[in-house]
Amino acid sequence: GAVVSQHPSWVICKSGTSVKIECRSLDFQATTMFWYRQFPKQSLMLMATSNEGSKATYEQGVEKDKFLINHASLTLSTLTVTSAHPEDSSFYICSARDGGGPYEQYFGPGTRLTVT
Amino acid sequence: GENVEQHPSTLSVQEGDSAVIKCTYSDSASNYFPWYKQELGKRPQLIIDIRSNVGEKKDQRIAVTLNKTAKHFSLHITETQPEDSAVYFCAASIGTNAGKSTFGDGTTLTVKP
């Protein structure tokens, strides 16, 4: 149980285009999902907290108009990187908390984004 | 906001030896402290966690200790094996379903056979 999937696992896009990443909780309902960004050999940096049915809460320094987050259902949150640039290339990981469970958060497998 | 510091950044041990990784946190309201193991290119995997009402927790070769007064917690791995080699992250959070986690910078553990 407690499986989180992410799609796609990797994507290459051209500068100026937009990319959507999906995060799904497969066997539980996630009222809260988190989006992280991880650069090589660095820690996970929280970008935003996504709550089902409401606006996401962005961390300081994260552009909400560039990283659009939608949490339309209890099992799906999406991150759209708009007008991507090479500096947006990174490993994006989502995590989800089971609304009826303990404090543990379950991580997705991550999405490797490369912007050329 | 919460600040988590993790030491050391790299750790190399001989197979069979013990490894200890230490973290400190700043927000006294944090009450949930998980440890994650991340292999290259993969997702972080929870290996052990502890809540603030407990001082120590053990799971086979892995143990975590928490000192709330000093605001620090540590990961102990005994009888290390080469497959323990990975990056380990500590985190601190306020344990509600909406509580976000703050991660340490990570420790790269290398276990030499």
Mutate to test the interface with B, among A21, A34, A105, A114 (most CBs of B within 10 A): A105
pLDDT tens per residue across span A70-99 = 988 889 999 999 999 999 999 999 999 876
- In terms of Cβ atoms closer than 10 Å to its own Cβ (0-12, 13-18, 19+), residue A11 is middle
Closest by CA position to A105, among listed B91, B56, B68, B62 = B91
Q: Which of the residue ranges A14-28, A57-71, A82-96, A99-113 would you say has the lowest mean pLDDT?
A: A99-113
Confidence band of A114 (pLDDT split at 50, 70, 90): very high
Distance, in Å, from the CA atom of B15 to the CA atom of B79, rounded to the nearest integer, reads: 7
Dihedrals phi, psi of B82, to nearest 5 degrees: -55, -35
Q: Is A34 on the interface with B (CB under 8 A)?
A: yes
Chain B residue with CA closest to A44: the answer is: B103
Mean pLDDT taken over chain A: 92
Q: Is A104 on the interface with B (CB under 8 A)?
A: yes
Check pLDDT > 60 for residue A11: yes
> What DSSP designation does B60 have?
T
Name every chain A residue with its beta carbon within 8 A of the beta carbon of B86. Answer: none
Chain A residue with CA closest to B51: the answer is: A103
Name every chain B residue with its beta carbon within 8 A of the beta carbon of A45. Answer: 103
Taking residues B27-33, report their average pLDDT. Answer: 91
**CB-based contact B44 A44, cutoff 8 Å:** yes
Q: Which two tokens stand for residue A76?
A: 């799906």
Position B84 scores a pLDDT of 97
- Helices and strands, counts by H and E, chain A: 0, 11
**CB-based contact B98 A44, cutoff 8 Å:** no
Chain B residue with CA closest to A6: the answer is: B43
DSSP β-ladder status, B10-14 and B107-112: parallel
DSSP β-ladder status, B72-77 and B101-103: unpaired
**H/E element holding A32?**
strand A32-38
